[in-house]
């Protein structure tokens, strides 16, 4: 290749090495066929010679990588696309938009972290933003032709994101009495099976199977895009039947108000909590449902299938053990030690009153 590029076999895949603007670039040919790899290298050298090498540090910016992430979110129809746009528009693009991707360094990361901390951003928030940067590099590297020659390591910050807050049953009953009628079903279902707020608001009556005793969440309509089935039990059945009878038949949504789909209940929830003297967020229902399933002895694999958690790490993040659990554990241990020992030997009659001397 006229000394401008070389091929290197790593394992079973060929990689190319070439120079552009005094800088060396290395990338995978993504093939084990040497002839195909040679064609890719020849094409790359031709692009460099013509000045069209889009992976060149002179052309690709961090802003280009952010655009790739946005396009990927939109293609995948991610529900968090609006949140992503906010992160990029408010924080990432103003600081890194015009920075050349090839110039990314640990120093730039450190400066960004320090700046965001001065702005009082939590570690978890900063980590989500750093994840966007890394995702941009991954997509740039996978691009055909590659936009970057590497995916740098971008260290994450430690997070102390154990989530707390549980509904005790008495609190559930108090809030149920105070919520307006169009919000009661949300509380009941959330408390029993831990369905997310957005998933609940998206439920249609056709997804409720009274005969089978199940609510079916469709794939693509949940946070992790997976479908799942939740059981109908306890108070859920009577409240679902009541809501079904009172519904407007022309409105297909499970949660509705005056014949229209319910889209928000933040104000109604806050006012009801104040009247009930219960300081709880709706997401606390999700933690409570998980904890109740743990208390009931439901296998964790089944509990995760119901709540929609993909990994068991949620049990560490949710800090399932509450103060009430600790108190109950203390009572159980107290009862245990109050029981007379069944294995201890009774002292013999002759031993009573005698002193034992050990030699």
Report pLDDT digits (tens) over 184-225: 999 999 999 888 888 899 999 999 999 999 999 887 666 666
DSSP lists the bridge partners of residue 256 as: 261
List Cα–Cα distances, 126 to 81, 109, 118, 152, in angstroms. 17, 10, 12, 17
Average pLDDT, the chain: 83
Sheet with 214-217, strands from edge to edge, namely 208-209, 214-217, 228-231
Average pLDDT score over residue span 237-256: 94
Express each pLDDT in 269-294 by its tens digit.
Answer: 999 999 999 999 998 888 888 888 87
Whole-model pTM: value is 0.53
Confidence of residue 326 (pLDDT cuts 50, 70, 90): low
DSSP string, 1-36: -TTSEEEEEETTEEEEEEEETTEEEEEE---S-HHH
Cβ neighbours of 142 (radius 10 Å) = 14
Express each pLDDT in 167-190 by its tens digit.
Answer: 889 999 999 999 999 999 999 999
Question: What DSSP character marks residue 356?
Answer: P
Q: Note the pLDDT of residue 333.
A: 74
Express each pLDDT in 62-120 by its tens digit.
Answer: 999 999 999 999 988 887 899 999 999 999 999 999 999 989 999 999 999 999 999 99
Express each pLDDT in 34-48 by its tens digit.
Answer: 999 888 888 877 766
**Which has more confidence, 170 or 297?**
170
Cβ neighbours of 28 (radius 10 Å) = 15
Q: Note the pLDDT of residue 52.
A: 47
Confidence of residue 160 (pLDDT cuts 50, 70, 90): low
Q: Note the pLDDT of residue 256.
A: 93
Helix H, strand E, coil C: the string for 79-93 is: CCHHHHHHHHHHHHH
Q: Note the pLDDT of residue 18.
A: 81
Express each pLDDT in 257-268 by its tens digit.
Answer: 999 999 889 999
Confidence of residue 49 (pLDDT cuts 50, 70, 90): low
Tokens representing 213 are 């005793």
**Which has more confidence, 144 or 139?**
139
Q: Note the pLDDT of residue 217.
A: 87
- Looking at the predicted structure, is the pLDDT value of residue 138 above 50? yes
Confidence of residue 351 (pLDDT cuts 50, 70, 90): very low
């Amino acid at each position: 290749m006229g000394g401008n590029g070389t091929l290197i076999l790593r394992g079973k895949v060929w990689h190319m090495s070439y120079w552009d603007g005094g800088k060396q670039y290395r990338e995978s040919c993504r093939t084990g066929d040497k002839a195909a790899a040679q064609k890719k290298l020849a094409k790359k050298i031709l692009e460099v010679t013509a000045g069209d090498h889009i992976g060149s540090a002179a052309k690709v910016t961090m802003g280009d990588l952010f655009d790739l992430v946005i396009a990927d979110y939109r293609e995948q129809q991610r529900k968090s696309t609006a949140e992503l746009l906010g992160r990029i528009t408010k924080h990432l693009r103003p600081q890194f938009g015009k920075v050349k991707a090839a110039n990314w360094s640990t120093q730039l990361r450190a400066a960004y972290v320090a700046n965001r901390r001065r702005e009082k951003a939590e570690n978890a928030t900063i980590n989500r933003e750093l994840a966007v940067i890394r995702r941009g590099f991954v997509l740039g590297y996978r691009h055909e032709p590659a936009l970057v020659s590497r995916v740098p390591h971008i260290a994450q910050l430690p997070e102390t994101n154990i989530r707390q807050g549980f509904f005790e049953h008495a609190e559930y009953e108090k809030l149920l009495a105070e919520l307006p009628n169009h919000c009661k079903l949300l509380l009941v279902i959330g408390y029993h099976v831990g369905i997310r707020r957005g998933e609940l608001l998206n439920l249609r009556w056709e997804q409720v199977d009274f005969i089978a005793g199940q609510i079916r969440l469709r794939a693509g309509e949940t946070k992790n895009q997976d479908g799942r089935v939740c059981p109908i039990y306890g108070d859920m059945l009577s409240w679902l039947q009541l809501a079904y009878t009172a519904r407007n038949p022309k409105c297909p949504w499970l949660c509705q108000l005056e014949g229209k789909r319910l889209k928000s209940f933040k104000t109604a929830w806050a006012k009801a909590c104040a009247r009930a003297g219960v300081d709880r967020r709706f997401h606390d229902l999700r933690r409570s449902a998980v904890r109740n399933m743990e208390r009931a002895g439901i296998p964790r694999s089944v509990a995760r299938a119901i709540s929609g958690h993909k990994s068991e790490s949620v049990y560490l993040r949710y800090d399932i053990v509450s103060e009430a659990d600790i108190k109950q554990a203390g009572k159980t241990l107290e009862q245990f030690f109050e029981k007379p020992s069944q294995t201890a030997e009774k002292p013999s009659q002759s031993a009573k009153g005698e002193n034992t001397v050990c030699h």
